[in-house]
């Protein structure tokens, strides 16, 4: 079974009530919030009503909150080769 991964990218401030109601029905309250819905024609119709505000991907399974967070977490830009403790133990061991 596949799912829609729907992420709210733009705010609904100033839009007609119909658009904000569709977002509430989808379960999107805040910007950058992500929800998962099973693929169905009714959900696809709701997404089409607010297509300018959301990003949609089709995924194989629902991700947990932790998995979504780890996907968004940026690369730190560096990596640690050795910790200071390991380096000291290597020097003292020789």
For 23-75, write each residue's pLDDT tens digit: 999 999 999 999 999 999 999 999 999 999 999 999 999 999 899 888 888 88
Domain 3-77 fold:
Ribosomal Protein L30; Chain: A, (3.30.1390)
For residue range 1-19, list pLDDT tens digits in order.
Answer: 899 999 999 999 999 999 9
- Residue 10 tokens read as 């733009």
The residue extents of the domains of the chain are: 3-77
């Amino acid at each position: 079974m596949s799912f829609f991964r729907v992420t709210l990218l733009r705010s609904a401030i100033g839009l007609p009530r119909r658009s904000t109601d569709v977002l509430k029905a989808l379960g999107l309250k805040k910007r950058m919030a992500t929800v998962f819905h099973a693929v169905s024609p009714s959900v696809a119709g709701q997404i089409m009503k607010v297509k300018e505000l959301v990003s949609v991907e089709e995924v194989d399974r629902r991700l947990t909150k932790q998995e979504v967070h780890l996907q968004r977490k940026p690369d730190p830009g560096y990596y640690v080769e050795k910790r200071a403790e390991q380096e000291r133990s290597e020097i003292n061991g020789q």
